[in-house]
Amino acid sequence: MNHPTTAAAWQRLSLDVSQADVEACEEALFEAGAVSVSLEELGDEPILEPKPGETPLWQKVRVVGLFEGQLNPADIMGALAGQLRPALLGEFDHQYVEETDWVRQTQAEFPATRYGDGLWVVPHWLNAPDEAKTVIRIDPGLAFGTGQHETTALCLDWLDAQNLMGLRVLDVGCGSGILALAALMKGAAEAFGTDIDPQALKASRDNAALNGIAAARLSLGLPEELNPSERFDILVANILAQPLIELAPVIAPHIKSGGRFALSGILNAQAQAVAAQWLAQGLIIDEIETRGDWARVSGHRTA
């Protein structure tokens, strides 16, 4: 164990254990005085698209406890030794951690970012650049969608290239509301955002207010609150491949004749399967665009 020359605010103690031992280690760390416990991946074992209700874990997991700096590390290890078998303490790491300005650090992770030909997503604490044609203010918070992920960027690039003036837009899995807001800021008459997470609907509502979007222009609700007879000129859905495949017969009918759509949250290897399912709904696939490991499927319904 290392020892700081000055008093540290926190100390971090981690245990590298198998999946089966994670719960016991979490409980032991809390009993030893941890103020929080988190799980980290060891190695390269991605977990993609868990089924509803599942909380999958890696085969090998780093269980990390955060403790107050003034505690004696020997006392922490003694408490753990009284609760865990010796083998679980064989791979551990201990570090002192200085106090961090988390607000400043978080803000540094969200720079103003350009998409398409002049659409900018700007965190609310930054000024928009002079060259920005369309500016969306975002408060990175409760829901997915800051523009930083490739899937959101693919959708924003697509939206920026569309003529949206006066159109109706459906945003499926709206998250932070960033795609619906982008469409409204580019001239769409109204948008409907759906999400299964009520926190996402709150985040979308808050971000709409941040951008001065009138409540009448952005409707928000759970998926079951969307009238099946509603038709839209534009549909965007940045969710995951499996829901896009399974829900295609439910979502696709919302695209009116001549309407356009863009789908993302799709790994490159999944793009053809998503495209095939939406093609089966009587739609035309125009393009599959990729960025890194991710893809966007876009197309239209014939007039």
CB–CB of 7/15 below 8 Å? no
Tell me the sheet residues that pair with 287.
298
C-alpha distances out from residue 114 to 167, 211, 262, 263, Å: 23, 17, 19, 20
Distances (CA, A) of 134 to 87, 113, 116: 58, 12, 10
Give the model confidence (pLDDT) of 152-201 as tens digits: 999 999 999 999 999 999 999 999 899 999 999 999 999 999 999 998 89
One-character DSSP codes across the chain:
----SS--SEEEEEEEEEGGGHHHHHHHHHHTT-SEEEEEE-SS-----PPTT-----SEEEEEEEEETTS-HHHHHHHHHTTS-GGGGSSEEEEEE----HHHHHHHT---EEETTTEEEEETTSPPPTT-SEEEEE--SSSS-SS-SHHHHHHHHHHHTS--TT-EEEEET-TTSHHHHHHHHTT-SEEEEE-S-HHHHHHHHHHHHHTT--GGGEEEE-GGGS-TT--EEEEEEES-HHHHHHTHHHHGGGEEEEEEEEEEEEEGGGHHHHHHHHHTTT-EEEEEEEETTEEEEEEE---
> Which of the four pLDDT bands, split at 50, 70 and 90, describes residue 44?
low
Per residue in 200-252, pLDDT (tens digit) is: 899 999 999 999 999 999 999 999 999 999 999 999 999 999 999 999 999 99
Beta bridge partners of 138: 123
- Give CA–CA dist 33/266, Å, rounded: 41
CATH code of the region 143-300? 3.40.50.150
- The count of C-alpha atoms lying within 13 angstroms of the C-alpha of 189, restricted to the half-sphere facing its C-beta, is 5
Per-residue pLDDT of 48-77, as tens digits, reads 444 444 445 568 899 999 999 899 999 999
**Does position 143 have pLDDT exceeding 80, yes or no?**
no
Read off the amino acid at residue 255.
Answer: I
Model confidence at 40, in pLDDT bands (50, 70, 90)? confident
Question: Could you tell me the pLDDT band of residue 258, with boundaries at 50, 70 and 90?
Answer: very high
Q: Where are the domains of the chain?
A: 10-99, 143-300
Distance, in Å, from the CA atom of 153 to the CA atom of 289, rounded to the nearest integer, reads 11
pLDDT of residue 110: 76
CB burial of 145-170 (b: ≥16 within 10 Å; e: otherwise) equals: bbbebbbbbbbbbbbbebebeebbbb
pLDDT higher than 70, residue 1: no
Q: What is the mean pLDDT of the chain?
A: 87
- The answer as to CATH 3.30.70.120 being correct for domain 10-99 is yes
Q: What's residue 90's pLDDT?
A: 85
Exposure string for 178-204, b = 16+ CB within 10 A, e = fewer:
bbbbbbbbbebebbbbbbeeeebbbbb
In the numeric block, which tokens belong to residue 69? 């700096």
Band (81; pLDDT cuts 50, 70, 90): very high
pTM, two decimal places: 0.66
- How far out from the chain centre does Cα 27 lie? 28
